[in-house]
Chain A
Amino acid sequence: MAQIIPLLGGVRGGFLGRKISVNISRITDLPTPKSPPKRGLSNSTMLAKRIIPCLDVKDGRVVKGTNFLNLKDAGDPVEIAALYDKEGADELTFLDITASHENRDIILDVVKKTAEQVFMPLTVGGGIRNIDDIRRLLNAGADKVSINTAAVKDPEFVTKASRRFGSQCIVVAIDAKRVKGNVANTKWEVYTHGGRTPTGLDAVTWAKEVEAKGAGEILLTSMDCDGTKNGFDIELNRTISEAVTIPIIASGGAGKLEHFFDVFTKGKADAALAASIFHYREISIQEVKEYLIKKGINMRINK
């Protein structure tokens, strides 16, 4: 495996050492670097928690979110993506829920057009079955893909995908549901096929396995909380977040500002994803961020 790449004799060590041969005429307008300024030396920087709106896309149209105001076309994913961009979304996620196989390529066009206008990370999930599906989405302009059913069916698919494209673009989506009757020791079971098929897999075990197989991130949806607007499953998010070293995106249950605070603090999530509350304009991304900043959570604010 470990092979040594042949040296580039003339170049190696050249620039900062002896062999500088720079054509000055080409760079006369570039200033020479000066030594560090005093300002800024002491301030420390911090990774922000992320807010990620999710768009459900069917046959190239956004299926929720008809309440958008001032949009020429409320079902146009590109236009909604641009609006979220303006509001300060940290990333975007498209969930392709197109049922028919022949319409599955439409999402590629949506991704292409979005990537031309919106310069932030874009994740696409839904119906990804093989390496070629991933390749086509990434080439269209997606930065990450999220895999669910295909990963459970064949865990080696995660390994193959992360080796081929890099861990940073492989998100494994886990749909987890509480196992009833286990009060002392809460467990969650993994479901596939959009929450229809129980797998018998324990969510914590599965999260550790996909990390070991090269997933760069986990999109963790609580099926118990999804759609309730009663808050994220804090226990689920904390348990998984502490079990792995890759980032966790919490999903399912966002309804109020406080829910985001709870999932970032008690739930130890690295990012929070929501669909309905943003789609139906119940809460704006900006409101969430301003609220969290006031509560001391580090957030990127759009100036």
Chain B
Amino acid sequence: MIVIVDYGMGNLRSVEKGFERFGFDVKVTDNPNEVKNADKLVLPGVGAFRDAMDGLRQRELLRPIADYIQSGKPFLGICLGLQLLFSKGYEDGEHEGLGIIPGKVVRFKFSENGTKEKLKIPHMGWNQISFRKEDNPILKNVPCNAYMYFVHSYYVCPEDKGVVATETDYGVRFTSMVWHKNIFATQFHPEKSQQYGLTILKNFGNL
């Protein structure tokens, strides 16, 4: 059973339908026990970092998610679900994240870094992912430089570059996916990225 964590941050229907399309059993829940005991866990989410941490804490989901990840079972974070894994987020002040991956989450800044043209924020639309690791099981049958759908104003900066699975350029070169052991997490939305996004969901379901 693939469990999708519902903590009040955005529409989970597409993620659910994406897995169901390939015949996987999916459950959307905010029950801490079901989260902890999932076979595969998906943490989606759009919105603000602090609201998301508050949402997880109010539902007593912080510990179950951490315990789940430590169990070694496959974990997929999407968008905010990637950012929350990090130690600190800088959206609207400084906020603690789950701290599972050392590093921070910062905002795109284009006025000061000498980019020729001021780029729009949020980074919204289809951009490419450039692979940084070989044999990534959830990128099986996805070509390097495939287009994925992004919508975000903040990006993750892992301290250990060894966790970077793909990178994407938008004024800066940022980490668009991390992979560390059982942890997979994407800045883009596989559930909104048509065929190759669905391939990622399928690969994850098949792990």
**Physical interaction between A and B:** yes
Contacts of B152 in A (CB 8 A): 168
In the complex, the answer to whether B14 meets A165 with C-beta atoms within 8 Å is: no
Instruction: Determine the chain B residues whose CB is within 8 A of the CB of A14 once the complex forms.
Output: 70, 100
**Contact for B122 among A119, A143, A246, CB less than 8 A:** A246
Is A11 part of the contact surface with B, judged by Cβ < 8 Å? yes
Q: Cβ of B70: which chain A residues have Cβ within 8 Å of it?
A: 11, 14-15, 21-22
Q: Does A183 contact B (CB under 8 A)?
A: no
CB-CB under 8 A from B126, the residues of chain A are 47-48, 50, 90, 300
Whether B72 and A27, one on each chain, are in contact in the complex, defined by CB atoms closer than 8 angstroms, is yes
**Which residues of chain A come closer than 8 Å to B97, judged between CB atoms?**
5
- CB pair A45–B129 under 8 Å, yes or no, is yes
CB within 8 Å of A: which of B94-119? 94-102, 118-119
Which of B74, B128, B192 is within 8 Å of A119, CB to CB? B192
How many contacts between A and B, using CB within 8 angstroms? 220
A121–B197 Cα distance when bound, in Å, is: 12
- A 137-150 to B, binary, CB cutoff 8 A, 1 in contact else 0: 01111110000000
Counting contact residues on chain B (CB < 8 A from A), the size range is 35 or more
A253 within 8 A of B: no
Looking across the interface, which residue of chain A has its beta carbon closest to that of B129? A45
Kindly list chain B residues whose C-beta atoms are within 8 Å of the C-beta of A48. 125-127, 147
Asked if A140 and B13 make an inter-chain contact with CB atoms under 8 angstroms apart, the answer reads yes
| CB within 8 Å for A34 and B135 given contacts A16-B101, A216-B124 | yes
Chain A, residue nearest B181 (CB): A22
Query: Which chain B positions have C-beta within 8 A of A41?
Result: 130, 132
Q: Chain A residue with minimal CB distance to B149? A: A121
Contacts of B181 in A (CB 8 A): 15, 22, 27, 30, 32-33
User: Contacts A34-B133, A39-B144; is A47 near B123 (CB within 8 Å)?
Assistant: yes
**Shortest Cβ gap from B75 to chain A (Å):** 10
Please indicate the chain A residues that have their CB under 8 angstroms from the CB of B69 in the complex: 11, 15
A121 to B11, CA, bound (A): 12
- Any chain B CB within 8 A of the CB of A46? yes
Q: A138-B10, A139-B13 are in contact. Are A45 and B130 (CB under 8 A)?
A: yes
Prevailing SS type, chain B contact patch: mixed
B147 touches A139 (CB 8 A): no
In the complex, per-residue mask of B24-62: 1 if CB is within 8 Å of any chain A CB, else 0: 000000000000000000000011101001100100001
Given A33-B133, A140-B13, does the pair A2, B47 have CB atoms closer than 8 Å? Answer: no
Closest to B144 in A: A40
Taking each of A16, A37, A115, A246, which has the highest tally of chain B beta carbons within 10 Å of its own beta carbon?
A16
CA distance A143 to B101 in the complex (A): 28
A-B contact pairs, 6 of them (CB 8 A): A14-B100, A16-B101, A22-B71, A22-B182, A26-B73, A35-B162
Extra contacts besides A1-B93, A15-B100, A37-B134 (7): CB < 8 Å: A11-B69, A30-B74, A30-B181, A46-B128, A115-B14, A141-B13, A167-B122
Instruction: List residues of B whose CB falls within 8 A of some A CB.
Output: 10-11, 13-14, 17-18, 46-48, 50, 53-54, 57, 62-63, 66, 69-74, 87, 92-102, 118-137, 144-145, 147, 149-153, 159-160, 162-165, 167-170, 173, 179-183, 191-195, 197-198, 207
